[in-house]
Amino acid sequence: MTTMTASSTSAAARRAMIDSQLRTSGVNEEFALARMLAVPREDFLPEDKTPQAYTDRSIALGNDAYLGSPLFYGKLLLEADPDKSDNVLIVEGGTRYLAELLRPLVGSIDTMPAADAAAGKPPKGAAYSLVVVDGAIEQMPETIAGCVAEGGRIVSGLLLRQVTRLAAGRKVAGHLSLQPVEDIGIPVLHAFDKPKSWTF
């Protein structure tokens, strides 16, 4: 009997993830599947969470950080449709997993923590052809909107009436808005919650 090594077990788990979670839910483009197959999810989790790496749901990491579900990242890659000409800003959800998925597909990547984006701290670059938010936001601050170059695009999760949706938008004539694409489970980045107001 041959004992499977940790790396072969991980590769088998990623293959099962692709066949049972991604392909069955409409993620079939080879560029997305190749990246999801290449990047071990467990590398972005603390040791006590690694057994959950290939479950079909988000994994809470504490301090409002999450690793989203495989399906979220598969759909996010499809909607982003990255290109080698893209300079990308990633608003991080708590891990570097999304940056690693995108890195070989684009020209350059900058990242910033969600807390910095919500607090209005400027990113490294002036304007980006693609901005990707690693989670669902209830409102889009000017910090993020202002990072999108004219003609550039944004892909993010969006929290609407307590339902998370994948959403996308493009900046045209200085205007940017997110349009829902598909209802899907996405970790909520609470740094972007709208202020609670009193009701009577």
pLDDT at 197 over 70: no
Q: Report the pLDDT averaged over residues 27-41.
A: 97
pTM for this entry: 0.91
Which residues in the chain belong to E strands, given as ranges?
Answer: 59-62, 65-67, 87-92, 108-113, 128-137, 148-160, 163-170, 179-183
What residues form DSSP beta bridges with 165? 158, 183
Of 118, 135, 163, 116, the residue nearest 60 (C-alpha): 135
* Phi, psi of 178, deg, nearest 5: -95, 130
CATH architecture, domain 6-192: 3-Layer(aba) Sandwich (3.40)
Mean pLDDT of 159-181: 94
Q: What is the mean pLDDT of residues 56-66?
A: 92
Q: How many CB atoms lie within 10 A of CB 55?
A: 13
Tell me: pLDDT of 199 over 70.
Answer: no
The three-state secondary structure class of 90 is strand
Q: Percent of the chain beyond pLDDT 90? A: 80
